[in-house]
Structure 1
Amino acid sequence: MLYDAAFLARLEAGLAQALPLWGLAPDTRLDLLTISENATFRATGTGLGDLVLRVHRPGYHTRTEIASELAWIAALRADGVVTTPRPIPLADGGLIADIEDGGATRQVVAFEFFPGAAPDEGAGLDAWFRALGAVHARLHEHARRWRRPAGFARKVWNFDSTLGAAPLWGDYRAGLGLDEKGRALLERAAGVLQARLAPLEAPGNFGLIHADLRLANLLVEEGRLALIDFDDCGFSWFLYDFAAAISFIEHEPYVPALRAAWLEGYRAVAPLAAEAEGQLDLFVMLRRILLTAWIASHAETPTARAMGLPYTQGTLALADAFLGRHG
C-alpha cells in the first residue's frame, strides 16, 4: 500500500522537517486529516492560525499544474466568486514547498484552516445543493471570462482521460469484482457515453471546472458554505460538476431531488438550456464508472476501502438502467 502506517509516519517526519519553510517550528503539532489522492495534515499552534498542509501524491500533478490550481484559487478569491481557504505562502514568498521522501521529491502546499463539516447525507441536502448549483454557475461564469496566466496547465477530463485510451484513474475494466459479463456491460455503457459526449465537447459546454465538489469537499459552518480541494480542477464539461457533486451517492433515492435543487440554484445565477437536464444523466454515468476505476487503482485509501465491491455492484445496476434509457 502507498499510504500504509509506516509510510504515513515517514511522511509526517519529512513534513515536520519542512515546517521552517513556513517559519514554523519543527515540533508544531501535525495531525492527519485525510488520505485520498494526497495526504493532508492539520498543523496547530503555529502562530499563524491552524493550517492545512497538503502533501501531493507523487506522479500525479506537475509543479506547473499545482501552481496553476493556486492561480485560479487566487483569482476566485480576489474576484469574490466563492469562499475558499487562502493558500499560505512560504517564508520566501513562494507557495509550493519540496520535501524529499525516499529519494523522490514531493510537493507540499499550505492553506488556512477553515472550521466546519461536510453536509450530512440525506433528504436535508436539498438546500445545500440549491446553494451548490449557484456556486457552480458562478464558477463557470468566472472560468469563461477569466484570462488565464501564461503557462497555465491543468488536466483535461474528457472521455479519453476518464474511460478511454488514456485514463488518469486507471482502467474501469479492472474494477473490483468485475467478471466478463460485468465488463461487457460497462463497455456497452462506455460506448454510448463516448458517442453522446463527443458532440458536447465544445467551447460553450467545456471549460475550467472544480471537478470534485462532492460532499467531502464542502464545509458548512453557521450557514456558510465553503469549498475546498481544487486538486482535481481541470478542463471538462461544465455539467460534469453536478456528477462530481453526487460522487458515491449516485444510487440514492434522494438524488433526483438534489438534481432539481441544483438546477434551480444554477438557473438563479446563469441560464442553462433545457437540453442540459437530459445531459446530466450522461455525466452521472461517466463519473460513476470513473469512480469505479478510481476505487480499484486507489485501493489503499479509506474511501476506496469503505466503498469496496458493493460500489462496483451498484455501478453495474446503474449501467444496466442507463442502457435501458439510452442504449
Structure 2
Amino acid sequence: MTDFDSLPHDQQLPILLELATAATANFDLPPGVGVTMVNLSENATYKVEAPDGRRWALRIHRDGYHSRTAIASELAWLIDLRQTGVVATPAPVKGKDGEIIQQVLHPRMVRPRNIVLFGWETGAEPGIGEDLSEPFEVLGEITARMHVHARQWKRPPWFTRLTWDFDTALGDDKPHWGRWRDGVGMDREKEQLFQRTVDLIDRRLAAYGKGPERFGLIHCDLRLANLLIDGKSVKVIDFDDCGFGWYLYDAATPVSFYEHEPQVPGLIESWTAGYRKVLALPKEDEVEIPTFIMLRRILLVAWISSHIEAEFPKSLGAGYTDGSLPLCEDYLRKFG
C-alpha cells in the first residue's frame, strides 16, 4: 500500500475527506452532518454542516508543521483574545474526551493527524476589488489591540511558536516556507534582482532591530482570506502561522498576493490611521512598512513554490514571481 505522503495531490484529497468525516465522530455533533472542503493550504479546512443548518469549521493539521504543544499555544492565545474582547475569533470546540486537539489516524497515513473543530463564524471574505478603506482602518485598530494584548498577556510556561525573522523567512538555512531562490519561473537574471532586494531588506531590518517595542507575538498572516467582514466588524480567523515577528509585519500581510495593486498605498494609510487610534506609530516605524511588504512578497514567492501542488499556488505560479520584479526595482530605487 502506498503511503499518503507519496501519493499525487489529487489522490490525497479523498483520503483527507475520509479523515475529516471520521473525525466528526470525536465531537458531540448532531447525526447526519455533511463535510465539505473549503480550503487547502498548510492545513486542510472543512465546513461541517448539520441538517438543521448549524455549521462548524474542522481543521486537519499538516503532518510535521506544528507540534501538539505549538497548536495548543496558538489556541491559548486565540481563546484569550476572544474571551477578553480584543477581537472576534473562532471558538474551539472540545471533543467528547474534553480535549480541544483531537488525534485521528487514517489507514493510509503513518501517523495520526492533529484535528481541531471551531464554531463557524459568520461574515464574508473581503475582495481586493471592493472599497476596503473602512475595513482596513478597523483592521488596523484591531491589530493594535492584538499587539497590546500580546505585550501584556502572561503566556503559559509551555507556550511555543515559530519565529518569523529574516533568517527563517528569507535566509538560506531551512526557511519555514522554502527558499525564494526556488521560486516558480526563477532564472539567473531574476535571481540577481531578488538577491539585491533581499540584501537590502536584511540591512534595513538589522538596523531596525528586534527590541520588545518592535518584535513580539503577532498573527503573521492577516491576509484577506483570513478576515471576515460581518457588518461593521472585522473578524480574524486562522492563527495557524502566529508566532514571534516584527509587529509591523502584521501591516504587510493584509495585502498579501495584491502588493502590486494601485490601491495598496491607500489601504496602508487606512490601516495606519486605525492603528494610531490605539498605539503610537512613530514615523521611523511607519517608513519601514514597505520593507515588510517586500519581505512578505518574496516570502510568498517561496511559499508558492513549496506548495505548488495545491490549486491556489498553482494558479499564481511564475506570474507571481514575474510580477514581483517591478516591485523589487521600485523598492531598490526608493530605499537602496
Does TM, scored on the shorter chain, surpass 0.5? yes
Deviates more, 1:213-222 or 1:4-13: 4-13
What are the equivalent positions in structure 2 for 1:122-133 lying under 5 Å apart? 122=129, 124-133=131-140
Instruction: Report how far residue 158 of structure 1 moved.
Output: 0.2
Deviation sequence 1:53-91 (CA, Å, 0-9, x none):
000111111111100000001110121100111011111
Deviates more, 1:13-22 or 1:183-192: 13-22
Letter in 2 for 1:125: L
1: distance between equivalents of 2:16 and 2:317?
26
Deviates more, 1:285-294 or 1:28-37: 28-37
What are the equivalent positions in structure 2 for 1:296-307 lying under 5 Å apart? 296-307=305-316
Letter in 2 for 1:146: W
TM-score, structure 1 length as denominator? 0.96
Instruction: Report how far residue 3 of structure 1 moved.
Output: 7.5
2: distance between equivalents of 1:109 and 1:2?
24
What are the equivalent positions in structure 2 for 1:9-24 lying under 5 Å apart? 9-24=14-29
Q: SS of the counterpart of 1:116?
A: coil
CA contact (8 A) 1:68 1:154 kept: yes
Q: Identify which of 209, 216, 228 aligns with 2:218.
A: 209
Matched, 1:142 2:149: yes
Q: Identify which of 106, 110, 113 aligns with 2:113.
A: 106
Q: Identify which of 56, 61, 64 aligns with 1:56.
A: 61
Matched, 1:118 2:125: yes
Matched, 1:154 2:168: no
Instruction: Report how far residue 166 of structure 1 moved.
Output: 2.8
Q: Identify which of 65, 88, 96 aligns with 1:91.
A: 96
Q: What 5-or-longer segments of structure 1 have no aligned partner?
A: none
Q: SS of the counterpart of 1:104?
A: coil
**What is residue 203 of structure 2 aligned with on the other side?**
195
**What is residue 72 of structure 1 aligned with on the other side?**
77
Matched, 1:178 2:183: no
Letter in 1 for 2:271: W
Deviates more, 1:315-324 or 1:146-155: 315-324
Deviation sequence 1:142-186 (CA, Å, 0-9, x none):
000001001100000000100012310000000011110111111
1: distance between equivalents of 2:187 and 2:122?
44
Distance 1:191 1:271, change over 3 A: same
Letter in 2 for 1:213: L
Deviation sequence 1:38-57 (CA, Å, 0-9, x none):
11001111779311000011
CA contact (8 A) 2:20 2:46 kept: no
Q: SS of the counterpart of 1:40?
A: strand
CA contact (8 A) 1:173 1:183 kept: yes
Q: Identify which of 269, 272, 275 aligns with 2:284.
A: 275
Letter in 1 for 2:190: G
**What is residue 228 of structure 2 aligned with on the other side?**
219
CA contact (8 A) 1:123 1:254 kept: no
Letter in 1 for 2:235: A
CA contact (8 A) 2:252 2:293 kept: yes
Deviation sequence 1:194-222 (CA, Å, 0-9, x none):
11112322211000000111111111122
**What is residue 29 of structure 1 aligned with on the other side?**
34
Identity %: 44
2: distance between equivalents of 1:108 and 1:285?
33
Distance 1:64 1:47, change over 3 A: farther
Deviates more, 1:228-237 or 1:6-15: 6-15
TM-score, structure 2 length as denominator? 0.93
**What is residue 262 of structure 1 aligned with on the other side?**
271
Instruction: Report how far residue 138 of structure 1 moved.
Output: 0.3
Deviation sequence 1:201-246 (CA, Å, 0-9, x none):
2211000000111111111122221110000000000000011111
CA contact (8 A) 1:122 1:254 kept: no
**What is residue 168 of structure 1 aligned with on the other side?**
176
**What is residue 228 of structure 1 aligned with on the other side?**
237
CA contact (8 A) 1:136 1:266 kept: yes
The count of residues paired between Structure 1 and Structure 2 equals: 327
CA contact (8 A) 1:16 1:26 kept: no
CA contact (8 A) 1:154 1:235 kept: yes
CA contact (8 A) 2:102 2:114 kept: yes
Please tell me the root mean square deviation across aligned C-alpha atoms, in Å: 1.7
Q: Identify which of 293, 312, 332 aligns with 1:323.
A: 332
1: distance between equivalents of 2:232 and 2:286?
28
Distance 1:88 1:46, change over 3 A: farther
